[in-house]
Amino acid sequence: MERVAIIGASMTQFGQREEWVVDLLTEAALDCLEDAAVDASAVEHLYVSNMASGEFEGQSGVMNAVAHDIGAVPAYTQRVDQTSSSGGAGMYAAWQSVASGASEMTLLVGGEKMTHKTTGEATDVIASLTHPAEYKTGVTLPSFAGLTARHYLERFDAPRESLAKVAVKNHENGVDNPHAQFQKEIDVETVLESPIVADPLRLYDFCPITDGSAALLFCPESVAKEYADEYVVVAGIDGATDTHVVHEREDPTVMGGVVESGEGAYEMSGYGPDDVDVAELHDMFTILEFLQMEGLGFAEQGEAWKLVEEGYTERDTGELPINTSGGLKSKGHPLGASGVAQGVEIYEQLVGEAGPRQVDADVGLACNVGGFGNCVITTIMEAAR
């Protein structure tokens, strides 16, 4: 079967935006088409990754509005929802649409508009993605993160500072990403002195609430060669769920969905953890970066914190740069956009368009996590040049 390529990428400014989600999606979509020099009329399938435009804006059918606004009608449309991993699920949907032969030009756009809601309102919408037995008793995603972080630190004798260092690193990377919500450095003290959210985690252990959109353009490799000298190939992609009731899991530090989707993506690609040159992990909470590093085989269980301490994941000096984009922590986390934006960063790193964030990379990996690992997508991309 012919390989699936990515020939264009874009993302809007992340942060507090005034536009409604359809305009954010349209902006990223048009930029992506321009980046690839492909006309909207060539788009056969359009996938929109978006978790909750109905809940956030009282507006549904946004995928049809985008098709209309970019001039892609009569392209087939579909909204892809997999909660916080909707963007990664969109990459899987786009891959399937091309790999199945259904479409020769598939545009994926992910986006969310959230900042017009209060933090409480936004938290209510996000909490509803978990099991009612948990969130209706007050155990929301930040609570899971706090409980898991405490368990991890005690069990593996990890210093509290190691979590803070994830945030510090990702903020440092975000300084060089003009689209990031926060472009400012922080230090370990900033994290440790910020307000407690879910003990031991504090405000700076968490990603912000964000508006924004990102897009990628998929086609068969033979079509990619017509449009571009350099492009990226989806080498491996797989998704998996874990127990929807989080407290049913045997080991709270093992995210089954990360392990399963990672194994699937490695197997499909023929690559292993040692082959990955750059990775975007879903650092909605700092502790998640440790759990994904371990679940994906970048570190042994209980040892990711040591790699972070040693600088292994630093952008300019580390063996495996993680979250060169700034991650969700500093770039921001517009739910449906985040997984797509991870793909955008890996694409830019692989085609050499990452500017001051550029690292030397032939193979990149993105891991997009929904809920507290309730559903996960891992994608491995490689440069074709």
77 belongs to the binding site for a second copy (CB under 8 A): yes
Using alpha carbons, list the distances in angstroms from residue 345 to 30, 44, 123, 307, 320: 18, 24, 27, 22, 15
75 belongs to the binding site for a second copy (CB under 8 A): yes
254 belongs to the binding site for a second copy (CB under 8 A): no
Closer residue to a second copy (CB): 92 or 290: 92
42 belongs to the binding site for a second copy (CB under 8 A): no
Sign for the CA dihedral angle at 223, 229, 232, 233 comes to positive
Strand 278-280 relative to strand 231-241: parallel, antiparallel, unpaired? Answer: unpaired
Dihedral (Cα; 177, 8, 37, 111), 10-degree rounding: -70
User: What phi-psi label fits residue 234: left (phi over 0), alpha (psi between -120 and 50 degrees) or beta?
Assistant: beta
Report the distance separating Cα 336 and Cα 52, nearest Å. Answer: 8
240 belongs to the binding site for a second copy (CB under 8 A): yes
Name the segment binding a second copy (CB under 8 A); options: 86-94, 160-168, 297-305, 340-348: 86-94
Closer residue to a second copy (CB): 269 or 349: 269
220 belongs to the binding site for a second copy (CB under 8 A): no
Report the distance separating Cα 221 and Cα 231, nearest Å. Answer: 9
Name the segment binding a second copy (CB under 8 A); options: 169-177, 225-233, 235-243, 298-306: 235-243
327 belongs to the binding site for a second copy (CB under 8 A): no
Q: Could you write out the DSSP letters of every residue in 229-274?
A: SSEEEEEEEEEEE--SSGGG-S-TT--HHHHHHHHHHHHHHT--GG
Determine the distance from the C-alpha atom of residue 328 to the mean position of all C-alpha atoms in its chain, rounded to a whole number: 7
Element (H, E) at 295: helix 286-295
Count, residues in the chain: 385
Single out the residue of 35, 211, 238, 294 in contact with a second copy (rule: CB under 8 A).
238
Closer residue to a second copy (CB): 54 or 302: 54
132 belongs to the binding site for a second copy (CB under 8 A): yes
Closer residue to a second copy (CB): 89 or 383: 89
Name the segment binding a second copy (CB under 8 A); options: 11-19, 176-184, 254-262, 279-287: 254-262
Closer residue to a second copy (CB): 174 or 236: 236
316 phi, psi to nearest 5 deg: -95, -20
Name the segment binding a second copy (CB under 8 A); options: 96-104, 196-204, 325-333, 352-360: 96-104
Rounded least distance, CB 9 to a second copy, Å: 22
Sites of contact with a second copy (CB under 8 A): 1, 51-52, 54-55, 58-61, 63-65, 67-69, 72-83, 89, 92-93, 95-97, 99-102, 125, 128-132, 238-245, 256-257, 260-261, 370-371, 374-375
